[in-house]
Amino acid sequence: MKLKHISRQLLKNYIFIMIIIITLGLTTFFLNLTYTNSKINNSIFDIDSFLYDYNNGFDYALSKQNLEKKDFLIVFDYDYEVIDVYNYKLNKGDQLDYSEYNSFYDNEDPYSYYEFESDDGEYIFLLYLAPVTTNMIFVILIISIAIITFIIFTLFLAKKTGKNIIRPLELISQGVKEISNGNYNHIIQFETSNELDDIRDDINHMSLQLKHEIERRKQLENERNQLILSLSHDIKTPLTNVIGYSQMLLNQSIEDENIKQSLEIINKYGLTAAALTDELFDFTKLNMDYQHMLTERLDIVEVIRLKLIEYVNEFETLHINYQFNLPSTPIYTQLNRMKFYRVLDNLLQNSINYNHKSFDITVDVQSIDDQIRITIEDTGIGIPQTYHQTIFNPMVRVESSRNRNLGGTGLGLSIAKQIMINHNGDITIDSTYTDGCRFVLILPIKN
Ligand code: ADP
């Protein structure tokens, strides 16, 4: 089985950690074993041969044995007088103190002391074989070094893994976020020798493709908009002729009722087509110019107040109850006054056109946090819930029977939406309101 790079890297890590753990375990085990065995002295001392050689002198007899540095040997007689001594603080002829003698056996390590007599029973030999004590500090030191080595290598591995896997993954995630936010120029940059390089290349390639695709779409959209603009412009001239000539004929006294009716139909549809062409032109232009709309800093309360004043007479004539809740202090925003008036006109005209007499219109303006919230609501027939999702799309009109004679184009609300978006704001329909229609307009405050 051929392992990929990341798997190989992880496998390497696992093996390395396993080796360190095993080494650490074995070290501890052997050190522990050494310490347990340390009670055993490694000196080689053969009592029989020593006694035999002692007849030829103490030093000679000693030289045949193999005592270690801390061992000692005292030869004394039954009066505790020291005859010979090796490696102990007493000298020949000294008296071995009885309590000192006893202290050897009170020691924690009685088995390290051996006492034997000479063949003739004249001397006593006291042999001390020092236990080889392992230094605990040394053991702790070794274990500490092992642990530190383990930590250092683990950190090293973590860093290496981080460099080869985690950091690239972070860069990939960051890059994907950038791309999903529309920054198609973002290029993910890192260098590993594993599969993440392939992912990096794929994502960079995808982002480049998306960029090209979006540019292509923009270009197509632009071409389509240009086509609509020139078409609506070109249609305008023949339509003006149709409307003008039909009107001219209608202005004359026509006796034939059929011809008169036909002329009226031609004139009416000519006007509808002209209105549609105008709105289509405006909608397309708004779509194209959304970044270049001219605005000025204006008090929105004053702008709305002026527009509402224009409507007061009409409301009263039509017996429409109106209520305007405008704040007494100014609220500023960047506005294209004429375009915004178009939104207000569309909403107010719709209320007037689509509702029967004697209903209420309420306009409310508030500032909430850093936004201006304008609600325009009526207590008319409302727009059915099923249309709420699509009502701002171009050419959407509520079932034609009720609109048949009103001459709308179905573009008014989509133009309003585009204008609000061009102001970095929005317009929505409040689906929780069921007494008629409530439109909510949002604009950013510009202090
Ligand atoms: P139109 O040119 O047809 O008026 P709009 O986009 O302005 O186009 O409106 C879309 C449809 O929404 C209209 O055809 C109408 O049926 C409905 N509508 C808009 N405003 C209201 C309202 N205040 N009350 C009832 N229906 C409305």
State how far the Cα of 123 lies from the Cα of 112, in Å rounded to an integer.
20
* Domain topology for 197-288: Helix Hairpins (1.10.287)
Query: What number does the ligand 1 atom closest to the CA of 381 have?
Result: 25
**Would you place residue 1 in the very low, low, confident or very high pLDDT band (cuts 50, 70, 90)?**
very low
What does the buried/exposed string (b/e) look like for 60-76 if buried means 16 or more CB atoms within 10 Å of the residue's CB? ebbeebebeeebbbbbb
Q: Would you kindly state where each structural domain of the chain is located, as residue ranges? A: 4-40+135-178, 44-128, 197-288, 293-444
Residue 124's closest CA among 163, 161, 89, 84?
84
Structure tokens at 7: 């798997």
Closest residue by CA, ligand 1 atom 13: 397
pLDDT of residue 110: 62
- Residue 232 contacts by C-beta under 8 Å, 6 or more apart in sequence? 277, 278, 280, 281, 284
Ligand 1 centroid vs 396 CA: distance in angstroms? 8
Dihedral sign (CA 219, 222, 228, 234)? negative
- Residue whose CA lies nearest to ligand 1 atom number 20: 350
Closest Cα to atom 22 of ligand 1: 351
Task: Give pLDDT, residue 104.
Answer: 81
Residue 333 pairs with which residues in a beta bridge? 298
pLDDT in tens, 260-284: 999 999 999 999 999 989 989 988 9
Residue 84: phi and psi, rounded to 5, are -140, 150
Pocket test for ligand 1, best of 283, 348, 354 (most atoms within 8 A of CB): 354
Alpha-carbon torsion (213, 217, 219, 220), positive or negative = positive
Positive or negative torsion for Cα 367, 369, 370, 375: negative
Tell which residue, 159, 193, 169, 162, has the closest CA to residue 4.
Answer: 193
**Ligand 1 cavity residues, CB under 6 Å:** 346, 350-351, 354-355, 378, 380-383, 391, 397-398, 403, 408-413, 437
Give the architecture-level CATH label for domain 293-444: 2-Layer Sandwich (3.30)
Find the mean pLDDT for residues 158-166: 82
Q: Which of 213-217, 241-245, 290-294, 389-393 has the lowest mean pLDDT?
A: 290-294
Residue 133 pLDDT grade (very low, low, confident, very high; cuts 50, 70, 90):
low
* Cα 405 to averaged position of ligand 1 atoms, centre (Å): 13
Calculate the alpha carbon distances from 410 to 275, 282, 394, 415, 419 in Å: 11, 13, 6, 10, 16
Question: Which residue has the CA at smallest separation from atom 21 of ligand 1?
Answer: 350
pLDDT in tens, 347-362: 999 999 999 878 999 9
Tell me which of 272, 352, 376, 383 to substitute to probe ligand 1's pocket, judged by most ligand atoms within 8 Å of the beta carbon.
383
Residue 410: which of 346, 329, 339, 320 has the closest Cα?
346
Beta-bridge partner residues of 324 = 363
Predicted TM-score of the model (pTM):
0.61
CA dihedral 60, 62, 63, 69 (to 10 degrees): -150
Assess whether the region 197-288 and the region 293-444 belong to the same CATH fold. Answer: no
168: its two tokens? 């690239």
The answer to whether the CB of 321 falls within 8 A of the CB of 359 is yes
Rounded Cα distance between 85 and 88, Å, is 6
